[in-house]
Amino acid sequence: MPSPNEQAQSGNRGDALGSELFAGGGEAGRLMRSMDWAATPLGPPEGWPRSLKTCVRILLTSRQAMFVWWGDHLINLHNDAYRSILGGKHPWALGQPASAVWREIWDQVGPRAESAMHHNEGTYDEALLLLMERNGYREETYYTFSYSPVPNDEGGTGGIICANTDDTQRIVGGRQLALLQELAARASEARTIEAACARSVEALETNRRDLPFAMIYMIDPATGRATLAGTSGIEPGHDAAPLEVDLNDPSAVWPLGEAMAGNAAVVVPDLSGRFRNCLPSGAWDQPPTQAIALPVTPAGQSGRAGVLVAGLNPCRLFDEGYQGFMSLVAGQVAAAIGNAQAYEEERRRAEALAEIDRAKTAFFSNVSHEFRTPLTLMLGPLEDLTAMKDLSPKGREAVEVAHRNSLRLLKLVNMLLDFSRIEAGRAQAAFEPTDLATLTADLASSFRSACDKAGLELIVDCPPLPRQVHVDREMWEKIVLNLISNAFKFTLAGSITVSLRPSADDASARLAVSDTGTGIAADELPRLFERFHRVEGAQGRTHEGSGIGLALVQELANLHGGSASAESILGQGSTFTITVPFGAAHLPERSIGARHDTVAPAMRARAFVEEALRWLPDDDTSGRRDAVDAVPAGRDEETVRQLGRPRVLVADDNADMRDYVARLLSTTCEVEAVADGQAALDAIRTRLPDLLLTDVMMPRLDGFALLDTIRADRLLRDLPVVMLSARAGEEAKVEGLDAGADDYLVKPFSARELKARVRASLVMARLRAERREAEASASRAEERLRAALLASGTGTFRWDMRTGVLEWDDALDRLFGLDIRHKVATMPDFLDLVHPEDRAAVTGQCDACMSDGADLSMEYRVPQPDGSVRWILDQGKTFRGEDGRPSYMTGACVDITERKRAEASQHLLLEELNHRVKNTLAMVQSIASQTLRATPAAERFPEAFQSRLQALAQAHDLLTKEQWRGASLREVAEMTLNPHTTPAGRVKISGPAVALAPGMAVSLHLALHELATNAAKYGALSVEQGEVTLEWAVTDGIKPSLRIEWGESGGPLVVPPQRRGFGSRLIERGLAHEVDGEVDLDFSPQGVVCRVVVPLSNRIAVS
């Protein structure tokens, strides 16, 4: 038995070994160090096999989730990363047998451990499903792991080491993503709501782990009930899948009403207590314990709403991720239902549109038939009138306009009738063998005169064809005439070419109509043959057209078994091609036969050519404007008296309409007519008319674009505009007025109505102009008043004496120093702003105005926010009410602070002037008495006195120039010595810049004058070689001072005077006293020296 010392040493070695073995490893390492391993089958760590120690070091230093099972009992050791796998079993699992740690899955992992321990064979499993119970519930997990046998020191298998990878999120996430993709794929093909629900539940069947069962209920908002629309994993009619649910029934099996009302998911717990029958378990061996009801939101206001009910995975916690997945599932179901409903609505809409289209076609057919009878009754009498020889020129022109437009209307009616027949399948064609080249050439030649007049070259290239072509002659005429008319409309210069040739394969006749016109944009070509489609912004001779010409051409070509196509380059031209097969094999046999038609092609072409000619510019319309006048002359004379002859600009691309309107208005107005919106805009900018009368549909620039341009131009925006349009109805009128038109006139209109509308618009425009001028004049006057008030600093107020309410403007706020937070509304508010010393007087004056109605005039002070005080002149006029008592006062306040300051300054100036005059007189008196006393000879007194007065005057002149603020020492010195500076260099002045107060400047000037005068008479300046030096400097120290020194040299020998004269006394006594300093006057034989020491004070400023 070891001794106690040996036991202690052994214990110490064990502690050291344990600390070293379990070093690091985070929490797991600390737990291992603190654990009593001797109480476990592994025993103390110092007795562990080397291989076990190596495994422990590996797992403690690894960041991968790892464990070691060792010994016959497979005692568990794990690292920190393995804690997430253990869950709630940590830290209890440390040191426990593996079979106890993983009791719930031992049937799966136990055989794998036995294979490694007893057969020395490792295992590997990837994403193995393990239903663990580690957090208080059965949990679906997926792990990839391998059991690797570890040898002991004896050569056998001592244990297992295992590294783990958690694949749960990857497996579950992939499974859920696959379901969402399956939902999207299957439901995308659904065309009805029922199919969308059926396909959705089929997709839900593919994931029975996350949705053991599911139902989709659709809501009927009218009845408040939900109907079962599809199930997954559960039979319809099951206790948990009733066929109908009342949303308002609180005892319903599912809370569908709650989910819909809150538009949020509702979790349903305790399913086992809610349903007697066993619920489906899906892919699990136990049914769900809870379910969820999710609203299926409708698409749009008319969409169908629903609820998705689904059982939840019993082996998963219903956490945020699971809830998000279920929301996505409900969203996919909602999208599928919404798409199906949209498809259904679109199908119903298409069916309704088709029905409307059929009804429209039938309507066009019936109306077109009805139009033909009255048109026939119009054309016949009009042609008879045209043939009459005794018809006046004015009447003949009116009849021709009516006849021409009746033909145009007949052409449009025929086109509509043809189109409606073709769409209804009732077109009766009669195909006969035809000399297509001759027929086509004749039709094309009918446009020769129109092309010549338009300056276009018409090229007809139609040689005989090698084979016969069966065509319906009337239909072929419409094809050719429509294509040439279209080319003429959009070709403003160049040529139109009509050619007929066999096709390249010699199977068809190929008609090509080419032009050098404006061309068509590439993106418009696919829609060119659509009925009613018109190319926006196309530049042509007119904007008129029905939009069915090319569509009719294509339909007629198709009836011939042929085709129509178009090629175009924008800005270069277009080519329209029609192909018709040779022979008759492709035609219905019943349709082959001649149509007995005696009308020549030229007669059918007449309507097309007549219309084309009207697209050309007018040669002279002025001579025809008196042809129509349906308004009595008396009314016209009244209009002329009231408005004069205003200028009216008419813009319309229809020449007959231009002429008609121009003739109507020419009796009262000066009329100019143009053919499109751009020409109208150019005319307006050249000469502004009084009114614009414009059509809506025009080439180059339509009526709305023209109106927008006018209203956007500052110079044109007030021009009155009346719009003409064939678009009837209140909506069209409102659109025109909203766009900025002054009036909107719908075609057809009477002459009387047009004149009345134009006259009313002109009158209103004149009234608006007069009002604008009056407002502008008033505005200018107000601006001048405001400018005057602002320039004078004047503010205005109104005081209601009966209510006490006080109103004033922003200028008064500025005068009284108020900001936006402080507003004056009553008289007490105003009195609070007045200076306390003036408040009583102001209150008294205001009371007097209220009592006896006197006018107000007073001056008072107003304290400002910055501490200053502002003077205000306040004047007001009192107005009395009907009862004779004072009612209100209006007045103005002006800032008179500067005036008050000027008055105070003037008072001070007078006092200063008085003071200076007195001082000057005293100084003059002193100079006179002192000069008289110092001058022995009376005859020399005037000269001496005058010299000193001039010196005093010079000093005053210098100070006056500087506004008596003072003078610089250099200015004083130069002014004194400048008369003695010749010859050059005899006077030297130097020193820094020093500013002197007025009194000190005068004293120094008088002293220097005495020195200079003495030097000129007796000293250095009396001889040419003499010099004078004047220097000064500023000294620092305890007593800073200004030191001035006058020195003479090169003059006569100086003899000190026996007694001091006036000059010496002025310098030694007067200057010393005046500057409060010291003066030393030395009469040295070499020259006079004067030294002045002046203490620095506020009378001296040194730069």
Angle at CA 1047, nearest 5°, toward 1045 and 1051?
170
Residue 721 has pLDDT above 80, yes or no: yes
**pLDDT at site 598:** 41
Report percent pLDDT > 70 for the chain: 82
Rounded distance, CA 968 to CA 972, Å? Answer: 7
**pLDDT at site 636:** 55
* Greatest mean pLDDT among 634-648, 854-868, 992-1006: 854-868
List 450's β-bridge partners, or say none: none
For tokens 């629309």, the residue is: 229
How many H-runs (helices) and E-runs (strands) does the chain carry?
32, 36
Closest residue by Cα to residue 226 from 255, 181, 256, 203: 256
Cα dihedral 1082, 1083, 1085, 1086 in deg (nearest 10): 60
**pLDDT at site 302:** 67
Closest residue by Cα to residue 837 from 862, 874, 816, 807: 862
Coil, helix or strand at residue 81: helix
**pLDDT at site 222:** 82
Residue 370 has pLDDT above 90, yes or no: no
List 577's β-bridge partners, or say none: 512, 565
Res. 148 pLDDT band, cuts 50 70 90:
very high
Lowest-confidence region among 393-407, 599-613, 639-653: 599-613
Lowest-confidence region among 17-21, 878-882, 933-937: 933-937
**pLDDT at site 236:** 92
Fill in the DSSP letter of residue 561. T
Handedness of CA 961, 962, 968, 972 (dihedral sign): positive
Q: Are strands 291-296 and 432-434 parallel, antiparallel or unpaired?
A: unpaired
For tokens 């178009």, the residue is: 566
Span 198-216, mean pLDDT? 92
Question: What does the pLDDT look like over 741-796, one tens digit per residue?
Answer: 888 887 767 677 788 888 888 888 888 888 888 887 877 777 776 676 666 668 88
Question: What does the pLDDT look like over 283-312, one tens digit per residue?
Answer: 998 999 999 999 998 876 667 889 999 999
Report percent pLDDT > 90 for the chain: 28
Of 3 and 326, the one with more pLDDT = 326
pTM of the predicted structure, to 2 decimals: 0.42
Rounded distance, CA 660 to CA 857, Å? Answer: 72
Long-range contacts for 748-751 (Cβ within 8 Å, ≥24 apart)?
749/724, 750/630, 751/628, 751/629, 751/630, 751/631, 751/664
Greatest pairwise CA separation for the chain in angstroms: 164
Rounded distance, CA 912 to CA 909, Å? Answer: 5
Lowest-confidence region among 227-241, 345-359, 872-886: 345-359
For tokens 């089958």, the residue is: 41
Q: What is the DSSP string of 400-437?
A: HHHHHHHHHHHHHHHHHHHHHHHHHT-----BEEE-HH
Starting at the earlier edge strand, list the strands of the sheet with 721-725.
670-674, 647-651, 691-695, 721-725, 743-746
Of 361 and 910, the one with more pLDDT = 361
CB 194 within 8 A of CB 109: no
Fold of 179-351: Beta-Lactamase (3.30.450)
Residue 416 has pLDDT above 60, yes or no: yes
Res. 604 pLDDT band, cuts 50 70 90:
low
**pLDDT at site 825:** 80
CATH H-level superfamily of 11-166: PAS domain (3.30.450.20)
Coil, helix or strand at residue 110: helix
SS3 percent helix, strand, coil of the chain, rounded to 5, is 50, 20, 30
**pLDDT at site 537:** 61
Tell me how crowded residue 172 is: count the other CB atoms within 10 A of its CB.
20
Residue 1052 has pLDDT above 80, yes or no: yes
**pLDDT at site 590:** 79
Q: What is the DSSP string of 491-531?
A: --SSEEEEEEEE-TTSSEEEEEEEE-SS---GGGGGGTTST
Q: For the chain, what is the radius of gyration of the CA atoms?
A: 58
Residue 169 has pLDDT above 70, yes or no: yes
Fold of 431-614: Heat Shock Protein 90 (3.30.565)
Which amino acid is it at 1026? G
Span 1085-1099, mean pLDDT? 83
Coil, helix or strand at residue 966: coil
**Distance (Å) of CA 395 to CA 281, 389, 626, 631, 659:** 98, 11, 11, 16, 14
Under 8 Å CB-to-CB from 696, ≥6 apart: which residues? 702, 703, 704, 723, 724, 725, 727, 736
Question: What does the pLDDT look like over 115-147, one tens digit per residue?
Answer: 999 999 999 999 999 999 998 889 999 999 999
Rounded distance, CA 708 to CA 710, Å? Answer: 5
Fill in the DSSP letter of residue 466. S
Asked if 11-166 and 622-774 have one fold, the answer is: no
The CATH architecture of the domain made up of 622-774 is 3-Layer(aba) Sandwich (3.40)
Of 193 and 374, the one with more pLDDT = 193
CATH H-level superfamily of 903-1102: Histidine kinase-like ATPase, C-terminal domain (3.30.565.10)
List 513's β-bridge partners, or say none: 498, 576
CB 218 within 8 A of CB 229: yes
Rounded distance, CA 288 to CA 272, Å? Answer: 8
Burial of 111 (0-12, 13-18, 19+ CB in 10 A): exposed
Tell me how crowded residue 554 is: count the other CB atoms within 10 A of its CB.
22
CB 951 within 8 A of CB 1005: yes
Question: What does the pLDDT look like over 449-500, one tens digit per residue?
Answer: 889 888 899 999 999 998 888 888 888 988 998 899 888 888 889 999 999 9
**pLDDT at site 696:** 85
Question: What does the pLDDT look like over 30-66, one tens digit per residue?
Answer: 999 999 999 999 999 999 999 999 999 999 999 999 9
**Distance (Å) of CA 501 to CA 437, 505, 554, 859, 863:** 9, 11, 19, 106, 103
Coil, helix or strand at residue 573: strand
Residue 263 has pLDDT above 80, yes or no: yes
Closest residue by Cα to residue 751 from 851, 631, 612, 899: 631
**pLDDT at site 791:** 62
Choose the CATH number for 793-895 among 3.10.20.600, 3.10.290.10, 3.30.450.20, 3.30.70.100: 3.30.450.20
**pLDDT at site 376:** 62
Every domain of the chain and the residues it spans: 11-166, 179-351, 431-614, 622-774, 793-895, 903-1102
Length of the chain measured in residues: 1103
**pLDDT at site 32:** 92
Question: What does the pLDDT look like over 799-833, one tens digit per residue?
Answer: 898 888 888 888 888 888 887 667 778 888 888 88
CB 1095 within 8 A of CB 1077: yes
Q: Are strands 987-990 and 886-895 parallel, antiparallel or unpaired?
A: unpaired
Span 966-995, mean pLDDT? 80
Of 642 and 353, the one with more pLDDT = 353
Angle at CA 463, nearest 5°, toward 459 and 468?
135
When the pLDDT of each residue in the chain is averaged and rounded to a whole number, the result is 81
Rounded distance, CA 41 to CA 76, Å? Answer: 11
